[in-house]
Amino acid sequence: MSKTESLILGMFLGFIPPVFCLLPTLIIIAILFEIEVFGPWMLWSLVPGIIIDVIFLRRWVRGAYQLNNKVLGVIYLFCSVVALGMCMGVPLLNFALGITAGVYAARRMHFAGADGERCNQEFKKTAVFCAVVMALMCCLITLWAIAGKMIGADIQLPYLSFTLTLPLFFAVVLTGGATLVLLQYWLTSKAAKAAFILWR
């Protein structure tokens, strides 16, 4: 593994513990206190995550391509929720995560010395998993839209205005959701195959 690859893995894996410690703090503070106290608590909540990184990050990077599939699944799901929140319900970063998962799967198979058939099976499993997670993110987006009272809202666009009725809302949700899921599957699969060919 090159130093550049180790650095990228370190940045990605090192990002997780601080954010994992930050989010529960934000939720608790939002429930118990006013928004003005977010600043100090946000800084203090990062400390446990940074300590975890200092202790374990080097070991995680060395074993990055031997991680258990269940651990990888939890990491991907957590990052997907964070990515969706960062983009305010628009899954742009989720597509980037799917591509990253595809590249990771390719590197994992490369280091394992896997043959073509095993690689194709692994890439398909990875793409299916990422597509399923995208479907879950679409469900979250739908709940977000319902909670935000989008149904019945008047939508004003530069060249179009309409009322988002219940049938139209679910038509958009189903059509858009299916498109996002299929696109995620395609991007993840293509990224895995391209990365494997590149580093073969």
pLDDT higher than threshold 90 for residue 199: no
* In the block, residue with structure tokens 């494997």: 196
- Please report how the helices 116-147 and 92-112 are oriented relative to each other, as an axis angle in degrees rounded to 10: 160
Q: Please state, in angstroms and rounded to a whole number, the distance separating the CA atoms of residues 118 and 128.
A: 15
Residue 31's alpha-carbon distances to 16, 19, 25, 47, 49, in angstroms, are 23, 18, 10, 21, 22
Length of the chain counted residue by residue: 200
HSE-CB for 103 with a 13 A CA cutoff: 10
Q: Where are the alpha helices (H) located in 63-165, listed in sequence order?
A: 69-86, 92-112, 116-147
Q: How far apart are CA 20 and CA 48, in angstroms?
A: 10
CA distances from 83 to 29, 76, 123, 150 (A): 21, 10, 22, 22
What's the confidence (pLDDT) of residue 145? 76
The pLDDT confidence band at residue 35, using thresholds 50, 70 and 90, is: low
pLDDT at position 31: 66
Q: Residue 102: what residue type?
A: G
pLDDT above 80 (res 175): yes
Task: Give the DSSP H/E element, type plus range, for residue 6.
Answer: helix 3-32
- What pTM does this model have? 0.84
Note the pLDDT tens digit of each residue in 104-163. 999 999 888 888 788 889 999 999 999 999 999 998 888 887 776 777 666 666 666 667
Q: Domain extents for the chain?
A: 1-66, 68-200
- Report pLDDT for 104: 94
Strand partners for 156:
161
